């Protein structure tokens, strides 16, 4: 009798154990995988991105919940084995992440969490600034030109131009540093108008800098030269020359009179 009781007891225990195991089998969800559907984690502002969350070993129905910074964003129930898709619009810097999803059978059973995902926000570049420590130069002088975009995601690619002609190669900066080129001002045409262009991986986002002119130094008057001397500049030079000649005629006269006065004395 006593023996039978023990037998009965252990049988009950055993069947409970079996039931538990069956329940556990249903609970055997694998950690879900959270992946971006388009395959890129680089995003721009206002972009819509879709995330896919799937627990491979789960048997439906499975409830999937998306979290951003541990706060629930949305949840869906999947009645088949296809992934849960979550679409987000990136509308602020905090929308880049960190995202996780959870798979569970129901809210009373413990869920499994996925890997976390963080987006990288690609920012457009700001208008680059072209500058040089030298603004006046002589013929035959070496000068440097720097091009720098203060804002925008790295890497940034810079290309310099003299007039409309590019000065290859383009320079790709991995750090937030100016691209620098060295120029040998060999001829008057090297005193032309320079510009630079910057772009990064933000779509359709090339920007041109201010223009920069080197001024030919070592003349009475600053003469700004373009690729070819403009007629306006030639006029200026001529005016200066005529003026200084008249002035010198007058001044030599003056000196001459003074000289005569001194002689008379």
Ligand X SMILES: *[C@@H]1O[C@H](CO)[C@@H](O)[C@H](O)[C@H]1NC(C)=O
C-alpha to C-alpha distance for 167 and 145, rounded to whole angstroms: 12
Which stretches within the chain are classed as H helix?
2-27, 231-264
Q: Tell me, letter by letter, the H, E, C secondary structure of 53-64.
A: EECCCCCCCEEE
State which residue, 235 or 253, has the beta carbon closest to ligand X. 235
Q: Smallest gap, in angstroms, from Cβ of residue 105 to ligand X?
A: 5
State which residue, 117 or 143, has the beta carbon closest to ligand X. 143
Q: Smallest gap, in angstroms, from Cβ of residue 90 to ligand X?
A: 10
Q: Smallest gap, in angstroms, from Cβ of residue 109 to ligand X?
A: 4
State which residue, 72 or 245, has the beta carbon closest to ligand X. 72
Q: Smallest gap, in angstroms, from Cβ of residue 240 to ligand X?
A: 16
Q: Are 226 and 192 in contact (CB under 8 A)?
A: yes
- Closest to 123 in 3D by CA, of 45, 209, 41: 45
C-alpha to C-alpha distance for 124 and 47, rounded to whole angstroms: 13
- Closest to 98 in 3D by CA, of 64, 66, 65, 69: 69
Q: Smallest gap, in angstroms, from Cβ of residue 198 to ligand X?
A: 8
State which residue, 10 or 163, has the beta carbon closest to ligand X. 163
Binding footprint of ligand X on the chain (CB under 6 A): 23, 26-27, 46, 48, 63, 77, 89, 105-109, 126, 140, 142, 150-151, 157, 159, 182, 184, 193, 199-201, 203-204, 206, 211-213, 224, 226, 230
231, two tokens:
């007629």
């Amino acid at each position: 009798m006593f023996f039978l009781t023990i037998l009965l007891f252990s049988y009950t225990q055993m069947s409970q154990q079996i039931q538990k195991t069956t329940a556990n089998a249903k609970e055997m969800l694998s950690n879900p995988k959270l992946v971006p559907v388009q395959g890129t984690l680089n995003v721009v502002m206002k972009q819509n991105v879709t995330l896919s969350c799937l627990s491979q070993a789960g048997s439906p129905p499975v409830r999937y919940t998306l979290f951003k910074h541990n706060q629930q964003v949305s949840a869906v129930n999947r009645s088949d084995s296809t992934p849960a898709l979550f679409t987000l619009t990136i509308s602020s810097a905090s929308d880049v992440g960190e995202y996780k999803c959870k798979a569970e059978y129901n809210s009373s059973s413990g869920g499994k969490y996925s890997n976390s995902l963080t987006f990288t926000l690609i920012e457009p570049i700001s208008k680059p600034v072209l500058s040089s420590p030298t603004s006046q130069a002589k013929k035959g002088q070496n000068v440097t030109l720097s091009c720098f975009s203060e804002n925008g995601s790295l890497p940034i690619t810079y290309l310099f131009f003299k007039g409309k002609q590019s000065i290859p190669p383009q320079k790709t900066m991995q750090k937030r540093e100016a691209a620098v080129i060295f120029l040998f001002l060999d001829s008057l045409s090297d005193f032309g108008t320079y510009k630079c262009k910057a772009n990064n991986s933000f779509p359709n986002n090339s920007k041109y800098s201010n223009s920069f002119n080197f001024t030919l130094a070592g003349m009475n008057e600053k003469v700004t030269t373009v690729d070819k001397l403009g007629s306006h500049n030639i006029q200026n030079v001529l005016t200066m020359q005529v003026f200084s000649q008249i002035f010198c005629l007058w001044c030599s006269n003056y000196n001459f009179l003074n000289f005569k006065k001194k002689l008379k004395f």
